[in-house]
Amino acid sequence: MKKLIGAIAIILSCSACKFNAAPTALPIYGNRTPVTKTVDGKTETDTIYQTIPAFKTVNQYGDSITNKSLDNNIYVADFFFTTCPSICPVMHRNMLTVYDAFKNEKDVKIISYSIDPKHDSVNILKKYADKLGIAGNTWWLLQGKKEEIYKLSESYLVRRPEEDAKQMFIHDGYFLLIDKQKRIRGTYDGTVPDQVNHLIADIKTLKAEPDQISGK
Amino acid sequence: MKLKVISAICLLLGVLFFSCQSDDEITFRRYYTTGNVVYQNRCQNCHGTDGQGLSALMPPLTDSVFLKANKASLSCFIKYGLKEKLLIVNKKPFDGDMPAMDLAPIEIAEVLTYVTNSFGNKMGIVTAQQVSDDLVKCK
């Protein structure tokens, strides 16, 4: 009898460890459309998820960056401008912790779209990057056509930027986590350090998902 | 009886003495606490919760030597902002712009009391009168 109890205890403790180790998958955000097709005479229903559309920009090194440049990368996106006196410094203070956590990993990138492309030229962006203390190709600061960037913000499910009477730009401080299939997998308030730690943990979870490892 | 009267007088004197002394202390605490709120609303986004600044973009507020040397200019920096001015803080150059803050002299005094007595600084109270005097001399 004693042996039986002992055996049960061992089995239970082993299985308890297994349950804890089970990885979780991140949700997929955005609109989804069911598509029904007929394959080999059978009807199959598939789900098409919302993805980030094509865009054309230039980064702080003057290199042309499009949506293709991010193929096979998990990335974090945000919207900012270099002369922003309100939330951007907080966002980028927090984004620096994301940068430090992943700067040596090839398939994780950060992109910050400038919403004030008229002022934020390649030169200005490079200076900002130097002062922020970022180098290499992990974190790109992007200049594009204003209308295109503003339209793009809608695909990232963030508030479309606006200009108020004082020509200041109003925008929100969200960080968006995008997977290798360009689907939105997480949204985090970039002004809150706790949420940014959550983002770092989520990137690690996402990297371990089978279709992120295969990239298909 | 005599002893009682003497001790009562001593007690009264003691209360007077300490209440006089803590008047300044109370004013300081009031400035400091309100200053903390002004700091959170107007300064913290750039200069950080611990006055640590942000890389080479935003200067930290932890350089006591800088704060002492520029004590009379601090009100001007806040009220009128900074443009194309090079500051050396913690031995590092900062040349970014700082936006002007539309604050009353009393608010500037409060936030300066907070900043110059936080983050490892200890410079005592900055009064509204001092701020008004300094603002007249802004270049």
pLDDT at residue number A17: 53
Looking at the complex, report in whole angstroms how far the Cα of residue A67 sits from the nearest Cα belonging to chain B: 29
- Bridge partners, A77 (sequence order): A111, A176
- CA–CA separation, A98 vs A78, rounded Å? 12
- CA–CA separation, B43 vs B51, rounded Å? 9
Burial B100-124 (b: 16+ CB within 10 A, else e): ebebebbbbbbbbbbbbbbbebeee
Looking at the complex, report in whole angstroms how far the Cα of residue A88 sits from the nearest Cα belonging to chain B: 8
Query: Does residue B102 sit at the A interface (CB-CB below 8 Å)?
Result: no
pLDDT at residue number A162: 78
Across chain B, which has 139 residues, the per-10-residue mean pLDDT values are 76 68 88 97 94 95 97 96 93 93 96 97 96 94
Beta-carbon separation of A89 and B57 below 8 A: yes
A202 CB-near residues (< 8 Å, 6+ apart): A26, A177, A185, A186
Tens-digit pLDDT profile for residues A170-205: 778 999 999 999 999 999 999 999 999 999 999 999
pLDDT band at A22 (very low <50, low <70, confident <90, very high): very low
